[in-house]
Structure 1
Amino acid sequence: MIESFTIKNYMCYREETEFSFVASKKEGKKNSLPPSWYKEIGGKRILRLLICVGLNGSGKSKLFSALKYLRSLAISRPTKTSEKPIYRPFLLDNHSYNEPTELQLTYYIDEVCYKYRLKVSQDRIEEEELIVKESRPSRVYFRTYDSNTDKVQIIYGNCCDLSRNDRHDLEVNTVANSTVLSVFASLNLESQILSSNLLYFEDRISYVKKSDRSLADKLKTDDPDKDALMKKMILRLLKDVNTNICDYEVEDHIISVSEIEASGVHDSLVKALMCQFPSGLPSKTLKFIHLTSEGKQKLDSELESYGTMNIIRLLVVLFDIILGKKSTTIDEIEAGIHTKALEFILKMYLSLAKDCQLIVATHDLQLLNADFLRRDAVRLFNKNRDSGTISVKKPDYIHNTVSFFRTYYRDVASEIDDIINQWTVFEDYEKELFGE
């Protein structure tokens, strides 16, 4: 689980900005919130859910991008030594593009706390460090670049369990554009501590992509036991949020070459598909079964409502997070889902979450009035119009003793409200469009 994530000089984040997942230990005198919001590790309450709110362009999606960027640098080794690392600094001033991006993640593996730090310029990985954060922090390794010799240097700490020969092999194979972890992944070296950290970045940090596999593929996999458990949970929740869906089926079928050609696919792609699937392209069809007063009716998934399909997609993601013990980001989690249904789903997630985290961005401000919400799990994003930089505020109170909805508008959206209330602004639009 993640304890904190720090960003500096990455896209809209010019100044050092920390996102802490540590919950307050203060609780209200009345109606104490349930402990399902956090897991206590080493005396710290690590939040299982973080909710990011702010106007469009206020940096929410860029937070998710930064975490994805760190993960990619940590585990992906460039194919060419001459390849430059991806570099995305703040560009709205005259100096940040000449300075490195700095990222730092503090996280837990089996309740052992680690700190991983990267410094990246437009030319190379400038610094990389892995530390075990105990009562006395102990370094695993510190990687830097020597511009005089044009070589990478790695200083190994007391916590490093690599043999002397493996340390040498790792250092000579680590070049300017690659991280130590990514090189370790490509070599046949033995280290329990490096393996566990590499596996953490590979398997425990994820992000929801809009281009993910179709829902039918996710509901019928090669693991029938997992599929059965998924169906049980999905159907129960669909019933609880007041749909009449009582079952679903995933049917396998084959798309013939003639069907592919008729759909307008380019000839070169048709030939490639014919080579790979000479008998036709395997496909799946998802159908939902509705229980009505006249019995059961089967509908193709394409005929289901946008909201219902997004609820199911979200459930599939959440169960994967929970079972995989992942820290996952979801942008615009509310898309097409009613506020009350989303509240129910998030409560369900918190009741099932153990060693996992969900970081979401939303424009559904009604969530800020939810009675189950921990205010210290919310991050308020704001963009400075003059500098283009982002600031992030963490509320300093837990319970809903103050109207969080009104607080948000006072702190973040007051300028928009002022403009909306001025009808002359819209008259100006009319003049611009019609020239009157």
Structure 2
Amino acid sequence: MLIQFSVTNYKSFRDKATLSLVASNYDKKVREADNVAAFEDFSFRLLKSAVMYGPNASGKSKFFEAFNFVRHYVRDSATDFTAGDKIPVEPFLLDETSNNEPSEFEVIFLHNGLRYRYGFELTEEKVLSEWLYEKATKEIELFYRDEQFITTHPKKFKKGGVIAKQGFVRDNQLFLSRAVQFNDEISESLYSSLSKLRTLSGLDEKGFQGYTMSLLDKADYKQKILKLLEAADLDIEDIEVEKLDTNNLPTDLPKSLKEFIKKESLDNEKVFVSDVLTKRWKYNNKEEKVGHTHFSMDDMESSGTKKFFALTGPIIDTLENGNTLFVDELDSKLHPNLVEKIVSLFNSKSLNPHNAQLIFNTHNTNLLDSGLLRRDQIWFVEKDSCGSSELHSLSDFKKIRKNEALESNYLRGKYGAIPYLEFFNSFTSKFLEYENEG
């Protein structure tokens, strides 16, 4: 489970911003059994979900991009970066100094009953520092890197120590990623854990629809996907994947693409999908069921149906395996009531026994008064006068009554993180002047 994520000097975040999933004691009696996972071996409890609110261009998506950068850089730095390659990190650009300063990222998480703290500091040119700590009762340093000088724990990180001494890590690579290539057991285990912290863009369901389609080949997953579609009141009886006939490809496909598809099919046994079909009931004029028909997912289903179908795979997989799922713009294209039901899957002791986590941003303010969320699960992102994003929790506001109308108070600006729209008044008057002059 994710405990905490911090970012400094990345895109719209100049100063350190920290999202904590540690449950507060102030809300201890609010939905404790459903929304919180307790760990007897540690002195903290962890939240199963968190939501971010804020105006457009406040930095909500940039925070998610920061986490996605960590995930991809850990995955790719050892394999995709050759000597001299620039690191695709983007510092804060709206002041005179941050562009020349390093960006910093740190993730704290639970893995196999232990607490790990991993982070790194870098520029476009190189990794300046990198660290990994393990904690059962007392925090132990597994390794610390100062540019190309790396110290490792003599017993717990032996193989990593050999890699460090041999100089097998380039200045634009992460030591953790490089250690995975040399089969260091701790690094491999943590790499696997970090890869399970997934990020999705709710604005582009095509980016994860393929994952859901791959799960349809597994009977148990398919049944759960169909049940979730049924629960969403989409009137879909079945889903069928129409596979591309590689021996009868469309004549208008470019020759190079045809050759690629045939080669991948033969050499790597890849399956190419031409469409996803939804199966629906047909009715006569007496409203009696008389058979079925099929709709093309791409051409005939609504954008909301397409998005929800694409989400079903990651949602079910995350719940089944106790992983963490970040979704940027979860509410895009979806009805507010459906978004509420998605959140309720995670904030449930019975439906989420493996303590999976959902972290998302939204403009759906109905959730604030839904009774599904505790105050420590609600976060706000807003920019200061210099364009730097700041992150704070509703639990930071100490004088909030337990029965407070959160939605109306948020919309009127009590907690900040709403757009400043006073200029609309002057725009309206000016616009009317132009219209009258015309």
Q: TM (normalized to structure 2)? A: 0.85
1:399 to 1:361, Cα distance in 2 relative to 1, 3 A: farther
The reply on whether 1:67 has 2:55 as its aligned counterpart is: no
Distance 1:230 1:183, change over 3 A: same
| Residue in structure 2 matching 1:312, options 297, 309, 312 | 309
Kept in 1: contact 2:212–2:314 (CA 8 A): no
1:354-433 map, 5 Å = 354-384=354-384, 386-396=385-395, 401-409=403-411, 410=413, 411-412=415-416, 416=420, 418-420=422-424, 422=425, 424-429=426-431
1:200 equivalent in alignment to 2:193 = yes
TM-superposed CA distance for 1:414, in Å, is: 5.7
1:168 paired residue number: 162
C-alpha distance in structure 2 between counterparts of 1:115 and 1:413, whole Å: 30
Secondary structure, aligned partner of 1:85: coil
Give distance in 2, aligned partners of 1:327 and 1:393.
21
| Alpha carbons of structure 1 residues 177 and 240: separation in structure 2 relative to 1, 3 Å | closer
- 2:245 aligned counterpart, secondary structure: strand
Q: Stretches of 4+ moved more than 6 A in 1?
A: 432-435
- Opposite residue 420 of structure 2, the aligned amino acid is I
Q: Does 1:299 align with 2:294?
A: yes
Aligned residue for 1:326? 323
Any unmatched runs of 5+ in structure 1? Answer: 146-151
Quote the offset at 1:52 in angstroms. 0.9
Whether contact under 8 Å (2:64, 2:326) holds in the other structure is yes
Corresponding residue of 1:289? 279
Alpha carbons of structure 1 residues 282 and 179: separation in structure 2 relative to 1, 3 Å: closer
For 1:214 and 1:69, the matched residues in 2 are separated by: 17
Which of 136, 139, 147 aligns to 1:137? It is 139
Moved more, 321-330 or 7-16: 321-330
- After the TM superposition, which residues 45-194 of structure 1 pair with which residues of structure 2 at under 5 Å, given as runs? 45-76=45-76, 77=78, 78-145=80-147, 152-157=148-153, 160-163=156-159, 167-171=161-165, 172-187=167-182, 189=183, 191-194=184-187
Quote how far apart the aligned CAs of 1:347 are: 0.9
- For 1:114-134, what per-residue CA distance to the aligned partner results, in whole angstroms no more than 9, with x for missing partners? 111201023210000101134
> What letter corresponds to residue 315 of structure 1 in structure 2?
T
**In structure 1, what is the Cα distance between the partners aligned to 2:305 and 2:379?**
28
* Unmatched 5+ stretches in structure 2: none
The Cα offsets for residues 80-99 of structure 1, whole Å up to 9 and x where unpaired, read as 12223223111100001111
Q: Deviations over 1:226-257 (max 9, x none)?
A: x3223322333333333332333334342666
Show the counterpart of 1:230: 221
Q: Distance in 2 between matches of 1:192 and 1:319?
A: 29
**In structure 1, C-alpha distance between the alignment counterparts of 2:12 and 2:333, rounded to whole Å:** 28
SS of the aligned residue for 2:23 comes to coil
Change (3 A) 1:199 1:236: closer
Distance 2:254 2:235 in 1: 41
Q: What does the per-residue CA deviation read over 1:245-272, in whole Å, with 9 as the maximum and x for residues that have no partner? A: 233333434266662x43xx44543454
**Cα offset, 1:288, TM superposition:** 2.2
Greater mean deviation of Cα atoms: 228-237 or 96-105:
228-237
Partner of 1:148: none
Change (3 A) 1:434 1:115: farther
Work out the number of aligned pairs and report it.
414
Q: 1:346 aligns with which of 343, 346, 361?
A: 343
Between stretches 45-54 and 266-275, larger displacement belongs to 266-275
Question: Aligned in 2, Cα 1:9/1:253: closer, same or farther, shift over 3 Å?
Answer: closer
Tell me the alpha carbon deviations over residues 354-398 of structure 1, each in whole angstroms, 9 at most, x when there is no partner: 2422111111122222122222101111112x3011111201279
Residue in 2 that maps onto 1:149: none
Question: What is the identity, as a one-letter code, of the residue corresponding to 2:178?
Answer: V
Superposition pairs of residues 209-220 of structure 1, within 5 angstroms: 209=201, 210=204, 212=206, 215=209, 218-219=212-213
- Alpha-carbon displacement from aligned partner over 1:327-350 (angstroms, at most 9, x marks no partner): 221111112211112212221233
Q: Does 1:36 align with 2:28?
A: no
Quote the residue 1:269 is aligned against: 257
